């Protein structure tokens, strides 16, 4: 599998990030992990998924989403349009879609444990890089 690294270049990848959505956790649950928003607490009080994720972040087993987004915003320009936390059975990773300055949507795959950027998929990625 290949992905574009900007201006038509491709780089080999394992499996397409867009094909691995079977264990996605909604953005609202991820927001609760790193950015507790009091207005969401009553609505999500019964959701065990976000509680478990919050405990994993607090224990240091998952990098907080806020840290991941801060790193991406230092290196790339764009607005977050979607975030999922994926679990393929052997690894956990964030899939974060950014809307770039030319309207391109680029997906970043980030290791949820280490916070390391492990994949990028989309067009005109170079145009999103910060100088």
Domains and CATH numbers, the chain: 2-128 (3.10.450.40)
pLDDT, residue 52, reads 86
pLDDT, residue 24, reads 52
pLDDT, residue 3, reads 44
pLDDT, residue 1, reads 43
d(CA 50, CA 31): 9
> Which are the contacts of 128, defined by CB distance < 8 A and separation ≥ 6?
76, 77, 78, 98, 100, 101, 104, 106
pLDDT under 70 in the chain at which residues?
A: 1-47
Q: CB burial class (10 A; 0-12, 13-18, 19+) of residue 91? A: exposed
Residue 53: CB atoms within 10 A of its CB come to: 23
> Are 17 and 107 in contact, with CB atoms under 8 Å apart?
yes
Q: At what angle do helices 27-34 and 65-75 cross, to 10 degrees?
A: 100
């Amino acid at each position: 599998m290949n992905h574009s690294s900007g201006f038509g270049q491709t780089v080999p990848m394992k499996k397409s990030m867009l094909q691995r959505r079977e264990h996605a956790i909604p953005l609202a649950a991820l927001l609760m992990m790193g950015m507790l928003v009091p207005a969401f607490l009553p609505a999500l009080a019964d959701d065990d998924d976000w509680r478990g994720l919050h405990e994993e972040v607090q224990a240091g087993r998952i990098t907080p989403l806020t840290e991941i987004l801060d790193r991406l915003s230092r290196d790339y320009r764009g607005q977050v349009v979607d975030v999922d936390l994926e679990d393929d059975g052997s690894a956990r990773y964030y899939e974060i879609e950014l809307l770039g300055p030319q309207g391109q949507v680029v997906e970043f795959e980030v290791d949820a444990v280490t916070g390391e950027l492990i994949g990028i998929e989309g067009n005109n990625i170079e145009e999103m890089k910060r100088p």
